[in-house]
Amino acid sequence: MLRLLGLLLVIWLAVSIIGAVIEGLFWLTVVGLLFFVATAAIGWNKRKDDPALPRGR
Q: What angle do CA 5, 27, 46 make, to 5 degrees?
A: 15
pLDDT tens string 6-36: 899 999 999 999 988 987 888 898 998 999 9
pLDDT at 38: 93
pTM for the model stands at 0.71
pLDDT at 50: 64
pLDDT at 37 over 90: yes
Give the model's confidence band at 51: pLDDT under 50 very low, under 70 low, under 90 confident, else very high.
Answer: low
